[in-house]
Amino acid sequence: MFEHCESWRVVINLEDQYSIWPTFKDIPLGWREEGKTGTKEECLDHIKEVWTDMKPKSLKEFMKKKNSKAA
């Protein structure tokens, strides 16, 4: 779909899930710019480095509350 795009940006949603989006397109609702722009490969490498816990934010919060009640 965007195979000819040379400039990408890293985006993140409300659940702290990462993706990439072409810089020439408006960011979709529910997503915000994370700060990294570059080639597709650079952006994907950045995501691999920073997104170390794939659990959605809501699950992390649920698990934290559950663990704090058990203590």
Give yes or no for residue 2 having a pLDDT over 80: no
Give yes or no for residue 71 having a pLDDT over 70: no
The answer as to whether 25 is a domain residue is yes
The answer as to whether 26 is a domain residue is yes
Predicted pLDDT of residue 26: 96
Report the pLDDT averaged over residues 24-51.
97
Q: Is residue 43 a contact partner of residue 18, using CB atoms and an 8 Å limit?
A: no
Is pLDDT larger for residue 60 or for residue 37?
Answer: 37
What's the CATH code of the domain at 52? 3.90.820.10
Q: d(Cα 10, Cα 48) in Å, to the nearest integer?
A: 11
Residue 49's pLDDT band, with cuts at 50, 70 and 90, is very high
Q: Is residue 21 a contact partner of residue 8, using CB atoms and an 8 Å limit?
A: yes
The answer as to whether 1 is a domain residue is no
Domain count, the chain: 1
The answer as to whether 50 is a domain residue is yes
Single pTM value for the model: 0.83
